[in-house]
Amino acid sequence: MITTRVDLNERQLAELKALVDGRLSTSESVLEQHGHDESAAVPGRPSAVVMVNNVEEVSKVLAYCNKELIPVVAFGAGTSLEGHVVPLYGGISLDLSNMNKIIEIRPDDLLVRVEAGVQRNALNDKLANHGLFFSVDPGADATLGGMAATCAAGTTTVRYGTMRENVMALTAVLADGTIIRTGRETRKQSAGYDLTRLLVGSEGTLAVITEITLRVFGIPEKMAAAVVCFPSLADGVLAATTIVRTGIPIARCEFLDAKSIRNLNAYDHMTLSELPTLFFEFHGSPTGVEEDAQAVKEIIEEFNGSEFKWTTDEGERRKLWHARHNAHWANFAANPGKRGLSTDMAVPISRLAEAVDVAMRILDQHPYEYSVLGHVADGNFHCAIMSDPLKPEELIEVRHITHEITLEIIEMGGTCTGEHGIGSGKITALVEETGQAAVDVMRGIKLSMDPHWILNPGKVMSN
Ligand SMILES: Cc1cc2nc3c(=O)[nH]c(=O)nc-3n(C[C@H](O)[C@H](O)[C@H](O)COP(=O)(O)OP(=O)(O)OC[C@H]3O[C@@H](n4cnc5c(N)ncnc54)[C@H](O)[C@@H]3O)c2cc1C
């Protein structure tokens, strides 16, 4: 079991380097780049960064690290938001970005096979040539391996699902170097335990994913976007949850509070009214999207919605979602010198308005600047809370505040994380949410797959 920081000695560095044809770095800038993600978590340093080119190399490196008790943190694009890639116990950062081949696109089966280091924008560029797209869209240009490992979701989840629904099969390497294949390229499978979905969301703690078979979709004939403002966030949230319940097949439904809109206007040169706002997208036939937009318009009027604007213009639609995906950076730009902690709670949609209200009531008792936005149709919302990196005590206090909110959300039947994962920041919340008995089952699984606890130690649960 890894319990203290591991720094590699000269022999280990040389032996590992030989396994990957020299692609091992100990340069300060490379170590720095692999020591943090995009969260407020305190960065660390791996002892070395190892670049792998194929599954055989991953297998050799893991077998070596297992024998030598060296911690291994898989690294995709480093865009995660819970300190996931911070090497808390040193060891190596295993960088998969060279494994970026799109192996096979199969339009007839609506699937694609990719190496784990492929980034989602590159995949979508290639798929577009076949009239296809991959739906899961976290705001960052993450790798598919990282997205599978965190069970990422995004703005289209309401219609197309999260990574859990869209990963069909995996190749992965266990801590001892054993290569396993999970799942099949079929729409249904009922053969044995579902190891694919065990690995999806395992945050690099059970295995290193090297190849993924993903479900893809045909690009819709028509896409339309709509924007509508509300006098209060509660009105907007209630309108959105009503729309979801009526079964209108919305493809995206996002809410942003007035502060988020103000930040987007400044960052992306938009001219949106600075009020609580919902963004929608509709996919279908030209008449279908028009009917869906009209049905939404009728519902939002019941909830005091105003300034309903909709468009089928491709440029305007793209601009709107580009801005939405920039919300994280817009927030940083509005708070220079600060760092943001993003909460990620989700509740059953009937409790969403209440959950947002609870979060804001607690946050309003403290001096920290925050804004709220979320994937409203999934009952998932983020509070981006700013603190001063030069005053570490602020981050500690913000973590206490978010834990207080989390406890109330769990009480409401919700979860501490809808899509970002546990990382190192929500280990206690996981126990509160699932109970110690369930965490003990997870620990048993971890020990059977990674007996020496070398894979991303200090994440998901304590060592
Ligand atoms: C602006 C912004 C917006 C975002 N919006 C969203 C959003 O809407 N929804 C959402 O879900 N997330 C969002 N995120 C978070 C982030 O993009 C996701 O968590 C993403 O899935 C991380 O992918 P990555 O390639 O960057 O992984 P990394 O950050 O490199 O790694 C994440 C975790 O996965 C593990 N890992 C990486 N690759 C592998 C592998 N091949 N095998 C096994 N384990 C691996 C790592 O060890 C680590 O624990 C956002 C982040 C930013 C910065």
Please state the atom number of ligand 1 nearest to the C-alpha of residue 204: 44
413 in any annotated domain: yes
451 in any annotated domain: no
How many whole angstroms from 102 Cα to the centroid of ligand 1? 19
CA distance readout (Å), 296 to 99, 292, 308, 312: 43, 6, 10, 15
Do the beta carbons of residue 460 and residue 431 sit within 8 Å? no
* Residue 390 belongs to domain with CATH number: 3.30.70.2740
Flag whether the pTM goes above 0.95. yes
- For 117-132, b/e burial (b = at least 16 CB within 10 A) is bbbbebbbeebeeeeb
Is there a single domain that holds both residue 286 and residue 252? yes
Domain end among 57, 76, 97: 97
Is there a single domain that holds both residue 117 and residue 184? yes
Is there a single domain that holds both residue 24 and residue 87? yes
The token pair at 262 is 């103000």
The token pair at 443 is 């620990």
Question: What is the distance between the alpha carbons of residues 234 and 244, in angstroms, rounded to a whole number?
Answer: 15
How many whole angstroms from 43 Cα to the centroid of ligand 1? 16
Is there a single domain that holds both residue 377 and residue 427? yes
Mutate to test the pocket of ligand 1, among 37, 50, 53, 80 (most ligand atoms within 8 A of CB): 80
457 in any annotated domain: no
Question: What is the distance between the alpha carbons of residues 68 and 90, in angstroms, rounded to a whole number?
Answer: 13
Is there a single domain that holds both residue 249 and residue 341? no
Please state the atom number of ligand 1 nearest to the C-alpha of residue 143: 25
Question: What is the distance between the alpha carbons of residues 71 and 7, in angstroms, rounded to a whole number?
Answer: 10
Question: What is the distance between the alpha carbons of residues 65 and 40, in angstroms, rounded to a whole number?
Answer: 29
Is there a single domain that holds both residue 34 and residue 142? no
Give residue 174's domain range. 102-218
Pairing of strands 217-218, 306-311: unpaired
Is there a single domain that holds both residue 205 and residue 300? no
Place of tokens 């103000």: 262
Residue 223 pairs with which residues in a beta bridge? 283
Is there a single domain that holds both residue 425 and residue 375? yes
Is there a single domain that holds both residue 201 and residue 139? yes
Is there a single domain that holds both residue 209 and residue 288? no
How many whole angstroms from 311 Cα to the centroid of ligand 1? 32
390 in any annotated domain: yes
List Cβ neighbours of 32 (8 Å cut-off, separation of 6 or more). Answer: 43, 45
Domain end among 329, 347, 373: 329
State the Cα angle at 237 between 322 and 305, rounded to 5°.
85
CA distance readout (Å), 241 to 248, 348, 353: 11, 10, 9
Q: Which regions of the chain are under pLDDT 50?
A: none
List Cβ neighbours of 382 (8 Å cut-off, separation of 6 or more). Answer: 342, 343, 344, 372, 373, 374
* Residue 81 belongs to domain with CATH number: 3.30.43.10
Please state the atom number of ligand 1 nearest to the C-alpha of residue 119: 25
For 381-412, the pLDDT digits (tens) are 999 999 999 999 999 999 999 999 999 999 99
Helix 327-334 / helix 258-268 crossing angle, nearest 10 deg = 90
The token pair at 264 is 């987007």
How many whole angstroms from 142 Cα to the centroid of ligand 1? 6
200 in any annotated domain: yes
Domains identified in the chain, total number: 4
355 in any annotated domain: yes
List Cβ neighbours of 90 (8 Å cut-off, separation of 6 or more). Answer: 5, 6, 7, 44, 45, 46, 47, 71
Place of tokens 């797209």: 133
* Residue 249 belongs to domain with CATH number: 3.30.70.3450
266 in any annotated domain: yes
Domain end among 329, 364, 382: 329
* Residue 107 belongs to domain with CATH number: 3.30.465.10
CA distance readout (Å), 36 to 40, 42, 58, 291, 327: 9, 8, 22, 46, 21
458 in any annotated domain: no
Is there a single domain that holds both residue 137 and residue 63? no
Pocket of ligand 1 (CB under 6 A): 37-38, 73-81, 84-85, 96, 116, 138-140, 142-143, 145-147, 149-150, 152-154, 203-204, 208-209, 328, 419-420, 456, 459
Is there a single domain that holds both residue 150 and residue 69? no
Place of tokens 């609506």: 110
User: What own/partner pairs with CB < 8 Å and gap ≥ 24 does 425-428 have?
Assistant: 425/39, 425/41, 425/82, 425/83, 425/399, 426/82, 427/460, 427/461, 427/462, 428/403
How many whole angstroms from 423 Cα to the centroid of ligand 1? 11
Do the beta carbons of residue 227 and residue 272 sit within 8 Å? yes
Question: What is the distance between the alpha carbons of residues 153 and 139, in angstroms, rounded to a whole number?
Answer: 10
pLDDT at 463: 85
